[in-house]
Chain A
Amino acid sequence: MEASQSEVNPNPNPNPNTNNNVNRNSIMSSAPLWPTIDGPLGLTEEESLSYSRRFYKFGYALLPWLWAVNCFYFWPALRHPSSFPRIRRYVVGSAIGFTVFTALLCSWALTFAVGGEDLFGPVWEKLVMYNLADRLGLTGWS
């Protein structure tokens, strides 16, 4: 659907005492207020930390896509190098993990697809998915 709108909010004014000093309309803030991509609709910073950490740890269970979602969700933390240092550790780790895993998986998939039988021999026929589906009758009812 639509991309997120409120990635970086103009500096809000949490403390009315400093009301006069902060220009609410300045969007020059390099420090985003909200750590998630949903902005004010998303999580607070403490919750973000726990979520980010959980995503990072769960990603090790062969879930690079979870790492990617982690990076997407906490995009402001990734985008602005000086913000949310605690969250940023996990997000950067997820980004690296995702890139590495995807590179490995893509290279394997491409080798398999391009190499074909020449490279693999008869094992190729056994491994390719549509043959496997036929043999196991996975799409049997159509």
Chain B
Amino acid sequence: MAEVHVIGQIMGASGFSESSLFCKWGIHTGAAWKLLSGVREGQTQVDTPQIGDMAYWSHPIDLHFATKGLQGWPRLHFQVWSQDSFGRCQLAGYGFCHVPSSPGTHQLACPTWRPLGSWREQLARAFVGGGPQLLHGDTIYSGADRYRLHTAAGGTVHLEISLLLRNFDRYGVEC
């Protein structure tokens, strides 16, 4: 079986209007993929930038997959939330990006979006906080049913991901 190592860091996020951000991340793969080592999802700490406006998490990612096919190449997905001084959490953005397919170190910048509600909900969000969220997390990384959503842009999640591939040439895949 071919093996893929995804090793790197979720470095941080920039461009969000809120500070005090944390990120829930996960990785989604197709049915042919099996996770041999590592955790498939996690949540970073809450970071409040003291210098500049980029929130840094430096959250390590270390995953080892075995696969029988190329379909369902891993996708990392993120939910960025902000936490205020009272401990309330508010959604700041959803985003996803495919794990790169060439070996080496890659800098990824993943744009995010958040669902807008009706004008009443937008007004309520400005004053009280909260706001609409997705019911099913798989809308973040799949295109089905997206046409129903009206969204606004959030900030960008920055990652540095390195990829090590093994045994792909045995199956005729050049990388």
Task: Verify that A and B bind, or say they do not.
Answer: no
Interface residue ranges, A against B (CB under 8 Å): none
